[in-house]
A and B are shown apart, each in its own frame.
Chain A
């Protein structure tokens, strides 16, 4: 199995631009998670899906952030408009229903907003 795939690996954009991060979970995993890692806040959960349905989005910082999962093999996290404080590493992770806590992480997308 290829593992969780994220693209792009690096993204540099200017303040005000739209940013879209992409994730392909491991086949057969029903749960998909989006995390953000910063020096100040560490690794924090933004949102997670079960069977393509958003279950908990309480970690999404504000309305500029949105996430979708149109099918079992694809999810996006969008930031519009982006701000310098959004600079972070964004991870996507997936897990199977019976091992919810054993989450498999992708390599992350390092986002820099200038």
Chain B
């Protein structure tokens, strides 16, 4: 069973516009949610997190929104830059483990 799902395998956005990446989860016991970014031939890099007791966390161009009733979180990147082109993984913490989604490949077009 996939407890964390990223339904869009890819997303293409024009430079300067907003990128919105989505993630759904099924386990209501998750207490932390995270986004990681991965470039080819590198390991994932932690980007931003949010506690389950909050609904928004912002860090520069990156904002994560959590909707607990819908079991949904999203990552907003604004404005999008070419260096943001990467695979983004959503992850959730539960029972002292991180469960990762399948990833969404974001491409920023000039």
Contacts and interface: CB of A to CB of B under 8 A. Distances in A.
A46 to B, nearest CB: 11
A44 B91 CA distance: 11
A23 to B, nearest CB: 11
Interface of B: 32, 34, 36, 41-46, 49, 89, 91, 93, 96-103
Most buried by B among A4, A42, A91, A93: A42
A91 B100 contact: no
Given A91-B43, A101-B93, A103-B98, 20 more contacts: A4-B43, A42-B100, A43-B44, A43-B89, A43-B100, A43-B103, A45-B97, A45-B98, A48-B97, A56-B97, A100-B93, A101-B32, A101-B49, A102-B49, A104-B46, A105-B43, A107-B41, A107-B42, A108-B41, A108-B43
Contacts of B93: 100-101
Interface of A: 4, 42-45, 48, 55-56, 91, 93, 100-108
